[in-house]
Amino acid sequence: MNDNPLAAIILAAGKGTRMKSDLHKVLHPLAGKPMLGHLTDAVQSLGAVRTVIVTGAGREQVVAFATPLGLEVAVQAEQLGTAHAVLQAQTALAGFDGDVLILYGDVPLVSPETMARMVARLHEGDAPAVVVLGFRPADTLRYGRIIADHGRIVKMVEHKDASPAERAETLCNSGLMAVRASDAWPLLGRVGNANAAGEYYLPDIVMLAAEDGRHSAVIETGADEVAGVNSRAELAEVEAIWQKRRRVRAMEEGASLLAPDSVWFAWDTAIGRDVTVGQNVVFGPGARIADKVTIHAFCHIEDASVASGAIIGPYARLRPGAEIGENAHVGNFVEIKKARLGRGAKANHLTYIGDADVGAGTNIGAGTITCNYDGFGKYRTQIGARAFIGSNSALVAPVTIGDGAMVAAGSVVTNDVPGDALAVARGVQENRDGWALRFRERSKKG
């Protein structure tokens, strides 16, 4: 068993010019979370005691991301190659004596399990100097090759420098490595730049170790796991890979997705068993769905919770702070924001409920609006249990509707309504006999 401390170096110094964005490449979101965040979460789940992000252009954005998380940032002022980039983390890891994972900020799908396999391989019987993560892509054109014999690396070569025979090899280098800190810095210090690009290549440490009589090992993973992002098109491809995995996981854990390819999850979506999700449902970050919930088609749920037995949609929007109670109903074209809907409460049609508390068993009629904003501040609406709010009502906050109270349809409620009372707040109806007939006759003559 390996008890060595673990550190991670994440390379993120590329300019990302193909993204054509003011946002640093590694901070572009994947499933609602920066790509870099997926990696830092993974290494922290493995118990990494140190994480150093090596960045260059746009480093202020990376620092702003890293600092609140207690992560360290090193700067590669000149882009002289991957070996040079890793060396920039040496000062930050001064005194660290353990295992080091070398990762890339634009390769966000590497799982903690794969990272753990890389580190574990460092400590297996033959104790390789370096462990390299390899893969076999459908198109090998741009990748460096790994020539290996039963998992032991014979040679590594960049595509630009490879011979035709070496280019015929299908095992490619992902760039991800595991190495002991005690080996990393001496090897990196010996890397030269006598190659077609004039760069200091990280894979050269494998051949340098071989010169010392030490071997290195390769373990393999699928091409999807090491897919890189250099453009928005590639980001969309990686998003599609992530979403497909998450949909499979949701179904394996007991949810039914009626049209899986049309359901989109966020990185932290929590979804229970016996949940049914209709077509074209989007879960933004922070969505929490309990067991036995039904979510009909075309709903958007973000930073909201839905309790067991609730029915949502179709065409419903749950915005941040929405809390839907057990067996509650939220119907078509209903929007709920920073509001609690109690057990068994219903808001089935064309309604906005914002900054409100709705009691158990209350019915909210079609077209109801909680008027929560006066242009300066937000105010709450309190609606008790078993209340009935008639259709096309406007509840002007702050206002309280008591338990069992009723609001007549078409009312504009500006004062509190006591429990079990009826509030009527609308103009008095006046019928003028024959007026419509006389109007039509005048109009024809005109």
211: number of Cβ within 10 Å: 9
Q: What are phi and psi of 361, to 5 degrees?
A: 70, 5
For residues 362 and 378, the answer to whether their CB atoms sit within 8 Å is: no
Helix, strand and coil percent figures for the chain, each rounded to 5: 25, 30, 45
DSSP class of residue 67 equals: G
The answer to whether residues 25 and 19 touch, using CB atoms and an 8 Å cutoff, is yes
DSSP string across 177-195: EEEEHHHHHHHHHT----S
Q: Are 122 and 132 in contact (CB under 8 A)?
A: no
Spatial separation of the C-alpha atoms in residues 41 and 204, rounded to whole Å:
29
Residue with tokens 């295992």: 99
Residue 432 CB-density burial (10 A; 0-12 exposed, 13-18 middle, 19+ buried):
exposed
Assess whether 349 carries a catalytic annotation.
yes
CA distance 136 to 223: 6
Helix (H, G, I), strand (E, B) or coil at 265: coil
Smallest CA-to-CA distance from 265 within 300, 233, 294 is with: 300
Catalytic residues: 349
